[in-house]
């Protein structure tokens, strides 16, 4: 049941993450499209208003006289009501005249000549038209407009930001819900493990609670969960723990690999060297409670949710790690020999799996070219074995 909840949570997280990404992309793309459309509309509006301004400049010259006070006031009034135009410059033989919607906003003077300001919001080229004014020659009018409406731009940015924040809020809420469900799942998993420990009451004794005098360097009766020689599981616990893991993997239709490894070419390993070896095994396989002593020179390892090929790969990596990290102790002729077997979809007992792994370890001596041998089960032979046992 817990695994099903975890799967649904993972799928829901993926869907929501995809939805958030879509919201980000759509919000940004929609904002860009709105801005581009607004720029095009403002360009069309500026052209229409500029045409009207040119007509106003021509007709006002007839009614008020070119560059009279009333003429200039007429141009300023038009710019004051314009939605796009910012400023205009009229050039004639009589001189240059500048008009702005807001003083100092769009025109600067270079000597006696007015110039349009450049910068963000202005087009590359000002609008330009010639004017026909009686009594004047070479008269022209130029105007500049803003390509971006600041009020509209702020509104678009605000809308985009709100959409992004909404997506972030959804992602954050989803993360909180998933973390809560994972914590609940961990609590439920811990609750399931407790009854299994009832099968091995001696495992409940904490090693720290034992008097130091009762330990005998890994020899004799087990005391506590881990040995003092290698700080790993006692050899006598191997079968019971393997049986428990086999039942669990069978219930979830998972594979399992059982590995035995030993330094067969040396007569004896000191406690200090063995402790180094066991520490490297715990550091590499990261499962102290699934690693057990095996005689004086070896260890046994249970790897749930792994198949035979994965067991071979991890064993090869561990051999390289031992040779690189502890070359003085485990280099040269002191090679590590490894045998293994896997559940391979069988409803197999722990004793049978241990025999298969031990047989594979023995084969490493018959074939010295290979220090790692895996027992590959034969379905037909296994069925015959089951029939004999039944």
Low-confidence stretches of the chain (pLDDT < 70) are: 1-11, 119-125, 182, 184-223, 329-334, 367-369, 379, 382-383, 385-386, 389-390
Residue 123's nearest CA partner among 158, 102, 101, 147 is: 147
Q: What is the CATH number of the domain that holds 361?
A: 3.30.70.270
The whole-angstrom distance between residue 354's C-alpha and the CA centroid of its chain comes to 40
Strand duo 291-294 + 256-262: pairing: unpaired
Task: Give the model's pLDDT for residue 174.
Answer: 81
Task: Give the model's pLDDT for residue 123.
Answer: 55
Q: Angle 73-77-81 (CA atoms, 0-180°, nearest 5)?
A: 170
Tell whether 230 and 145 lie within a shared domain.
no
Tell whether 239 and 135 lie within a shared domain.
no
Task: Give the model's pLDDT for residue 263.
Answer: 86
Task: Give the model's pLDDT for residue 101.
Answer: 85
Is there a domain that residue 312 lies in? yes
User: What is the rounded CA–CA span in Å between residue 28 and residue 32?
Assistant: 6
Is there a domain that residue 224 lies in? yes
- HSE, side-chain direction, 13 A CA sphere, residue 368: 5
Is there a domain that residue 73 lies in? yes
Burial pattern 82-91, b for ≥16 Cβ within 10 A else e, equals: bebbbbbbbb
Q: Could you report how far apart the first and last alpha carbons of the chain are, in Å?
A: 33
Tell whether 138 and 285 lie within a shared domain.
no
Residue 325's nearest CA partner among 287, 286, 277, 272 is: 277
Report DSSP letters for 173-202, one per residue.
HHHHHHHHHHHHHHHHHHHHHHHHHTT-GG
Task: Give the model's pLDDT for residue 185.
Answer: 55
Task: Give the model's pLDDT for residue 259.
Answer: 96
- HSE, side-chain direction, 13 A CA sphere, residue 267: 0
Q: Which helix (H) or strand (E) holds 373?
A: strand 372-375
Is there a domain that residue 259 lies in? yes
Is there a domain that residue 210 lies in? yes
Which of 150, 166, 190 delimits the end of a domain? 150
| Sequence-separated contacts (24+) of 217-226 with Cβ below 8 Å | 217/271, 218/271, 218/293, 225/289, 226/288
Task: Give the model's pLDDT for residue 377.
Answer: 77
Is there a domain that residue 238 lies in? yes
Residue 264's nearest CA partner among 337, 370, 329, 333 is: 337
* Burial environment of residue 375 by CB neighbours within 10 A (0 to 12, 13 to 18, 19 or more): buried
Domain of 226?
202-389
Full-model pTM: 0.44
Which of 132, 150, 168 delimits the end of a domain? 150
Residue with tokens 């581009």: 36
- Each residue's pLDDT tens digit, 341-375: 999 888 889 999 999 999 999 888 876 667 888 88
Under a CB-based contact definition with an 8 Å cutoff, are residues 75 and 57 in contact?
yes
| Region for residue 316 given its phi and psi (left: phi exceeds 0; alpha: psi -120 to 50; beta: otherwise) | alpha
């Amino acid at each position: 049941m817990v695994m099903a909840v975890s799967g649904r949570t993972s799928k829901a997280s993926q869907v929501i993450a995809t939805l958030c990404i879509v919201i980000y992309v759509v919000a940004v793309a929609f904002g860009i499209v709105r801005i581009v459309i607004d720029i095009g509309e403002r360009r069309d509006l500026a052209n229409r208003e500029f045409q009207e301004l040119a007509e106003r400049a021509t007709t006002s010259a007839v009614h008020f006289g070119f560059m009279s006070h009333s003429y200039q006031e007429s141009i300023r009034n038009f710019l004051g009501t314009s939605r796009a135009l910012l400023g205009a410059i009229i050039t004639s033989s009589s001189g240059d005249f500048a008009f702005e919607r807001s003083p100092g906003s769009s025109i600067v003077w270079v000597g006696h000549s007015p110039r349009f300001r450049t910068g963000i919001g202005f087009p590359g080229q000002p609008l330009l038209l010639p004017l026909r004014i009686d009594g004047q020659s070479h008269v022209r009018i130029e105007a500049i407009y803003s390509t971006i409406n600041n009020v509209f731009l702020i509104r678009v940015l605000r809308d985009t930001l709100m959409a992004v924040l909404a997506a972030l809020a959804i992602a954050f809420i989803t993360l909180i819900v998933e973390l809560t469900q994972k914590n609940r799942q961990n609590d439920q998993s811990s609750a399931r493990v407790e009854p299994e420990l009832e099968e091995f009451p001696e495992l409940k004794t904490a090693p720290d609670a034992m008097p130091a005098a009762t330990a005998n360097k890994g020899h004799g009766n087990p005391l506590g969960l881990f040995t003092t020689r290698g700080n790993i599981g006692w050899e006598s616990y191997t079968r019971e723990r393997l049986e428990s893991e086999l039942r669990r993997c069978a219930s979830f239709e998972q594979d399992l690999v059982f590995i035995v490894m030993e330094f067969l070419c040396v007569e004896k390993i000191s406690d200090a060297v063995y402790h180094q070896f066991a520490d490297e095994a715990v550091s590499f396989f990261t499962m102290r409670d699934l690693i057990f002593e095996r005689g004086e020179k070896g260890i046994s390892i249970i790897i749930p949710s792994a198949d035979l090929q994965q067991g071979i790969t991890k064993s090869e990596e561990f051999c390289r790690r031992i040779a690189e990290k502890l070359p003085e102790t485990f280099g040269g002729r002191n090679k590590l020999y490894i045998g293994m077997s896997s559940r391979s979809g069988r409803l197999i007992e722990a004793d049978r799996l241990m025999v298969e792994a031990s047989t594979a370890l023995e084969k490493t001596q018959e074939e010295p070219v290979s220090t790692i041998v895996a027992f590959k089960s034969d379905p037909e032979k296994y069925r015959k074995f089951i029939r004999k046992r039944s």
